[in-house]
Amino acid sequence: MKKILMASLLSLMIGNAYSGSVELTYDIPTQRVDGSELTLAEIDKYVLSYGTTIDASSTELYVEGNITSVVITDLYGVYYFKIATKDTDGQVGPWSNTISEDMGTLPINPIQSPTNVSAVESITVYWDLPTKRVDGTVILPEDINSFVVAYKCNDRLEEQKIVQGNAASTVLHGLYGDCSFKVRAEDTSGLGTSWSEPYNLLIKLRTPKRGGFK
């Protein structure tokens, strides 16, 4: 059974002092242990292992095979790093040599973490850009000034959102229930179109909890 030649760590670059970030770079291996060729297509991923003990084994990070550097953040104190290569057959090569770096200390008075995180439902409305006028005359995207998106859910009043330029979608928030959407366009001379056919959609409501949806 062939074994993959390990990827060797070439250099270790540290972010700003006490930033707690590190960038690891390495070469893509081109040979297996027995000296046979190893192509990029045969590499599945790299296994980067790191931790606060010399065996560097507390955390493993998987990196795609065509990537030759990775940034890790929120590290403080002394950390140890090593890397191995995994091929598309699932074989993992030997570990590289272990390197270490003092990542500095946690700032004495960092800002507090965000609290009371929550979320609301959102939906993206899409439409096709018109390419002709009513009489068949061709128009270009730059002839379009804006779109007006009208929407109404349940018994709520109709609302409208103006989308500038020739974008073909927009995101709406806080919608739930039986909703209806329609769109019209306006050209650069101020001439507007009639409304599109309405599009109806049932949006189910999920109740947000602190910290996100559960």
Question: Is 70 a domain residue?
Answer: yes
Q: 86 and 141 share a domain?
A: no
* pLDDT above 60: residue 209: no
- Is position 153 within any domain? yes
pLDDT digits (tens, 9 = 90+) for 166-176: 788 888 888 88
Instruction: Classify residue 108: in a domain, yes or no.
Output: no
The per-residue pLDDT for range 78-127, each reduced to its tens digit, is 888 888 888 888 888 888 888 888 877 765 555 554 555 444 567 888 88
pLDDT of 63 over the 50 cut? yes
pLDDT above 60 for 56: yes
Give the domain range for residue 72. 9-102
Residues 71 and 132 in one domain: no
Domain termination site, one of 74, 102, 130: 102
Show the 3-state SS of 37-65: ECCHHHEEEEEEEEECCCCCCCEEEEEEC
Residue 165 pLDDT > 50? yes
Any domain includes 1: no
CA distances from 93 to 7, 31, 78, 86, 113 (A): 8, 11, 26, 6, 40
What does the pLDDT average to over 200-211? 66
How many domains in the chain? 2
Least confident of 68-82, 113-127, 146-160: 113-127
Parallel, antiparallel or unpaired: strands 99-102 and 78-87: antiparallel
The answer as to whether 180 is a domain residue is yes
